[in-house]
Amino acid sequence: MNNMRNILFVTIVLLAAACGGPVQKSCDAGFVDGVVEALSEGGKINADNLCWTREPRSFMVHDDSIEITTAPRTDLWQRTYYHFRNDNAPVLQMKTREKYFSFIVKTDFTQSHQRFDQCGIVMYLDSDNWLKGSVEFENEEFQHLGSVVTNNGYSDWATTAIPADVKTMWYRFSRRADDYCVECSYNGVDFSQMRICHMYAGGDEISFGIYACSPEESSFTAVFTDMKITECMWKAHDGQKPDEEI
Query: Sorting pLDDT into bands at 50, 70 and 90, what band is 20?
Result: very low
- Read off the pTM: 0.88
Query: Sorting pLDDT into bands at 50, 70 and 90, what band is 2?
Result: very low
The per-residue pLDDT for 99 is: 98
DSSP assignment of the chain equals -HHHHHHHHHHHHHHHHHTTS--PEETTS---BHHHHHHHTTTB--GGG-EEES--SEEEE-SSEEEEE--BT--EEESTTT--EEE---EEEEEE--SEEEEEEEEE-TT--STT-EEEEEEEEETTEEEEEEEEE--SSEEEEEEEEEETTEE--EEEEEETT--EEEEEEEEETTEEEEEEESSSSS-EEEEEEE-TT-SSSEEEEEEEEBSSS---EEEEEEEEEES--SPPP-SSPPGGG-
Which residues, in sequence order, are CB contacts of 217 under 8 Å at separation 6+? 72, 73, 114
Q: Where are the domains of the chain?
A: 2-234
Averaged pLDDT, 1-7 = 42
pLDDT tens for each residue of 92-141: 999 999 999 999 999 999 999 999 999 999 999 999 999 999 999 999 99
Averaged pLDDT, 185-190 = 98
pLDDT tens for each residue of 28-64: 667 899 999 999 999 999 999 999 999 999 999 998 9
Question: The domain 2-234 is classified under which CATH number: 3.20.20.60, 3.10.20.340, 2.60.120.200, 3.90.25.10?
Answer: 2.60.120.200
